[in-house]
Amino acid sequence: MQKFLTLICLVALLTACSKENQTNRVDSRIDSLINVMTLEEKVGQLSLYTSDWDVTGPTMRQGYKEDIKKGRVGAIFNAFTAKYTRELQEMAVKETRLHIPLIFGYDVIHGHRTIFPIPLGAAASWDMEAIEKSDRIAAEEASAEGLHWAFSPMLDIARDPRWGRIAEGAGEDTYLGSRIAEARVRGLQGKGVGELNSVMACVKHFAAYGAAQAGRDYHTVDMSDRMFREVYLPPYAAAIKAGAATVMSSFNEFDGVPASGSKYLMTDLLRGELKFNGFVVSDYTSIMEMIPHGVVADTASAAALALEAGVDMDMQAGFYEEALGKLVKKGTINEQLINTSVRRILKKKFELGLFDDPYRYSDVEREKNTVMKLEFLEAARDVARKSIVLLKNGQLPRQEKLLLPLSKEVKQLAVIGPLADARKEMIGSWSAAGDWKKSVTLLEGIKAAVSPKTNVLFARGCNISDDSTTYFAEAVRVADKADVVVLALGEGAWMTGEAASRASLALPGVQQKLVEEIAKTGKPIVVVLMNGRPLTINWIAGHIPAILETWFLGTQAGNAIADVLFGDFNPSGKLPVTFPRSVGQIPIFYNMKNTGRPMDRNNKYTSKYLDEENEPLYPFGFGLSYTTFEYGAIKLLKEHITTQDELTVLCKVTNTGTRAGEEVVQLYVRDLIGSVTRPVKELKKFQKITLQPGESREVSFTLSIQDLAFYRSNMSFGTEPGDFHVFIGGNSRDTKAAKFVLD
């Protein structure tokens, strides 16, 4: 045994030495390369330019081709396919003086060719394994098409659904967002940078972009350091700790300084506090945009401010290429600053293996055998159905059964609505290289699922966003013939994502009028929502018996929704974001703080609206199932703990229905008294469990002292003694509670 242990130690030592030697060799090669680079070639490594795409395929502007050949470009984005990336790589490697390869990047947000649910939708699965798998597949496809780098994950906490880019993130909660951040980095990077089926992750948008004022994209962000550190920073930090290779600066200002010019964000916090050791890229032209922000007057000042802040690569503005060489020659900036950024970028190129084989990712045969494999499509369908949230399931008149799931034997089934057969909308915004022509519509999914004897009727009813009621009459006629109506409503894919802020969260166009007209027929109706943000659907919630929130589910959308509609899959999704009753409630989120005058319906002089409820329409964490779950009383193994202890919290959950089902068991904590005010609830743990009908399980959670820590009045991070409440339930509102004390 002793010899065996000695051998293990020796192997470990040799492995460590080997890794250290390899690192030293890479560092030595980088130093040697930098020593022979001209200033122009160094600046070139800091420049990122776009490729283009037209009806005939990928193209490159002639000026950019010349830049590549002269070594004035370090990376290209929006270029993919194995053939095209090899063509561009050959320009860089064969025609430049030093043969330095390019990095190819792309917005691989929720899939590459096989499109998965939008990130907000995937977050509704609360399934870290499914989320990681979706990004693992995205990385396999992207890397097979010559890509090295994904501009993902987007980790901006968002509490204002007017902001279109809420669709790209994990919603409103810091803890859930942090766990998803880790899963996405693991999925994209796999076993590490340089693995042939992986791509570099890019944490974005650093920092606090999701707090844009008034929900308006690119707008100002203003918050306290406490709010930033407690709510917005942790998901970025979790991704960096998980090994994310790169970071992208955000468009917004932070504490009065645009993020791309903030030394506090890019150097002091990111590299100093968070120990990030990759490279930072600006968002699209964000260095240029510091001029209209009003902190710099010209190109040279913007380039100097960004480089000195710690932004290594300039995306698309061309400011680094235009100004940095001149600034060095004038003595305005030190060339060592440029060398530092070049070293960071070259290191990633070495880690990717591009200096050993520049074309290793550009393999046409691998591309052909990888993209949109059957197993990838099956995974997309599975993740999609896990992302669906059942918001309501009412009882049919004069019957005991609930409306959902529908019978596949229904004789006449009407599928109505502007999103019922809208193939292009299925894959949502930021759908990368996804081909919407290959997506499955809801109408197709339903037709494939029902009995051959079922007559599926279809009517568009109206368009997504115009005011025409021309198609109403036809839709009503179709509904009148049906036994059940499935009504597909929501937003267009173009209405969410970047530059897609909305002042109203109502159904666009005349869709609300369409619902009301179809409801007058008296037929049982299931509303299927497709959208990239919470919508205000009060009338639907009050008048329609069944509602499914399906987001934009991707390539397999129609099949996944049909799986849930007809009971082949029991819905288990939970909302990652609060659904308001009206825009006037925004911002609204579950982990608010109390006021000195909490709402009292009987006292006017308390915190409430005159014309609206305080409570949301649907709370964070909410989602129904085709079965029911009962939560028992919470049991604590200790009622008093010290800072040296962990607390075990137990709760029995029982499936009281007739179907097997998954439940996301959620644990929240409240610190009752602190040196600063604390939220009324904070998500700290969750588990997704599967129970058979009648089965019970005692779910166990362990709370550490770190779970009870916060930024105290002096901004130190730690705990304070006192009373705590712990809550467990199926959403943030409907919970059981218990008390414990931290001594």
Q: Which two tokens stand for residue 206?
A: 């650093």
Q: What is the sign of the dihedral through the CA atoms of 184, 186, 192 and 195?
A: negative
d(CA 355, CA 558): 44
d(CA 488, CA 511): 10
Beta carbons of 221 and 211 less than 8 angstroms apart: yes
- Please work out, in degrees rounded to the nearest 5, the angle formed at the alpha carbon of residue 114 by the alpha carbons of 547 and 432: 95
Only one residue has tokens 């509904």, namely 479
Indicate the pairing of strand 629-636 with strand 661-671: unpaired
Q: Which two tokens stand for residue 577?
A: 């974001």
Active site residue 27: no
d(CA 522, CA 322): 67
pLDDT at 6: 55
Catalytic position from the list 156, 160, 283, 382: 283
Residues of the chain with CATH 2.60.40.10: 629-742
Q: Which two tokens stand for residue 387?
A: 């992302």
What CATH architecture applies to the domain 629-742?
A: Sandwich (2.60)
pLDDT at 739: 98
Instruction: Enumerate residues 6+ apart whose C-beta is below 8 A from 381.
Output: 556, 559, 560, 563
Only one residue has tokens 């915190």, namely 607
Beta carbons of 79 and 85 less than 8 angstroms apart: yes
- Please work out, in degrees rounded to the nearest 5, the angle formed at the alpha carbon of residue 477 by the alpha carbons of 523 and 481: 55
Q: Which amino acid is at 541?
A: A
pLDDT in tens, 114-148: 999 999 999 999 999 999 999 999 999 999 999 99
Indicate the pairing of strand 389-393 with strand 546-549: antiparallel
Indicate the pairing of strand 546-549 with strand 525-530: parallel
Q: Averaged in consecutive runs of 10 residues, what is the pLDDT profile of the chain (743 residues)? A: 53 57 85 96 97 76 90 96 97 96 98 98 98 98 98 98 98 98 98 97 98 97 97 98 98 98 98 98 98 98 98 97 97 97 98 98 97 98 98 83 96 98 97 95 98 98 97 98 98 97 98 98 98 98 98 98 98 98 97 95 95 97 98 97 97 98 98 98 98 98 98 98 98 98 97
Instruction: Enumerate residues 6+ apart whose C-beta is below 8 A from 405.
Output: 564, 565, 566, 567, 626
pLDDT at 281: 98
Instruction: Give the rounded distance of the alpha carbon of 655 from its chain centre.
Output: 31
d(CA 647, CA 90): 59
pLDDT at 25: 87
Residues of the chain with CATH 3.40.50.1700: 377-585
pLDDT at 9: 52
Instruction: Give the rounded distance of the alpha carbon of 294 from its chain centre.
Output: 31
Indicate the pairing of strand 75-77 with strand 47-50: parallel
pLDDT at 19: 62
Beta carbons of 88 and 76 less than 8 angstroms apart: yes
Q: How many other CB atoms are there within 10 angstroms of residue 707's CB atom?
A: 17
For the question of whether the overall pTM of this predicted structure is more than 0.85, the answer is yes
377-585 topology per CATH: Rossmann fold (3.40.50)
Beta carbons of 393 and 402 less than 8 angstroms apart: yes
pLDDT at 367: 98
pLDDT in tens, 462-501: 999 999 999 999 999 999 999 999 999 999 999 999 999 9
Instruction: Enumerate residues 6+ apart whose C-beta is below 8 A from 7.
Output: none
Beta bridge partners of 661: 691
